[in-house]
Amino acid sequence: MELALALMGLSAVLLLLWLVFIITHLRPLTEDEVELLAAKRRSQQLTRYFSFHMGEVSVDRRFKKRMKPRGQFYEISQDLSLFPSTAAALLKYKKHEWIIIAFEKDRHVQLVWANKGLDASSVSPALSTPRTAEIAGRRGFNSVLFFHNHPNPSPTHYDCTNPSEQDLRSASLRAQVLNTHGVSMLAFVCERGSHYRYFLSAADNLLPLAQFARDINKANGSSRLSNLSLHLERTF
């Protein structure tokens, strides 16, 4: 009986809180609240835009073998969601570090660069960051994806799926240049056929915040029910 009374009391409190929330959130959103909700919607859309297949895939062995160590461009056409798995497959079993740079537009990878590192512990793109930004801007690419492998001499003893401090620093520096040119950037570590994203910096012009704010403002203030719906979306 005591437990039942306690549950009834808790239900009454929750109902009261819910009613208070409804009553106090029938008003239109403020400018700051609109901006916060717009940022939330953009973040959700970016998550969907950069969603990737996580399983392993097979690749053309002849193409993989013919990849030029000194670096070369390859024109391709592949869905963005699948390409990280493709890049990981291309880097699988490589004893030296390699880097792959993919150029993406409208969720399709259309251009790829790849080059080999000097040894098994480091790799730098033979394609400079300013050159990468210039190509992306000239051809209207939305984003650039960087992949590199961490050769693992003993997978049962070592985990090489995490970025190094140098990886993080390099990604941040490249993103500053690319974002300035309106190009988003992602970075991945690949090991044993799998990819692990560790960096994402979206440029302001990819899914612009203003477009989400405009959509919200169209509904904001149109009715009390619409206002409540926007507040619920913003809060939960």
Measure Cα distances from 72 to 80, 147, 148, 165 in Å: 20, 15, 15, 27
Kindly state the percentage of the chain with pLDDT values over 90.
81
- Interstrand relation of 98-105 and 194-201 (parallel, antiparallel or unpaired): unpaired
Please state, in angstroms and rounded to a whole number, the distance separating the CA atoms of residues 117 and 49.
30
Per-residue confidence (pLDDT) for residue 35, from 0 to 100: 97
For residues 127-143, average pLDDT: 97
pTM score above 0.85: yes
Query: In this structure, which amino acid lies at residue 235?
Result: T
Please state, in angstroms and rounded to a whole number, the distance separating the CA atoms of residues 7 and 9.
5
Q: Where are the alpha helices (DSSP H) in 25-59?
A: 31-49
List of domains in the chain: 49-201 (3.40.140), 209-236 (no CATH)
Per-residue confidence (pLDDT) for residue 153, from 0 to 100: 64
Mean of all residue pLDDT scores within the chain: 93
| DSSP-assigned letters across all residues of 213-229 | HHHHHHHTTS-HHHHHH
Residue 202 tokens, joined: 């979206």
Per-residue confidence (pLDDT) for residue 33, from 0 to 100: 97
For residues 60-71, average pLDDT: 94
3 state SS of 59: coil
Torsion of CA 192, 143, 198, 95, to 10 degrees: 30
Residue 153 tokens, joined: 């001499």
3 state SS of 147: strand
User: Please, are residues 116 and 96 in contact by the beta-carbon 8 Å criterion?
Assistant: yes
Please state, in angstroms and rounded to a whole number, the distance separating the CA atoms of residues 151 and 147.
13
Of the given ranges (40-49, 121-130, 188-197), which has the lowest mean pLDDT?
A: 121-130
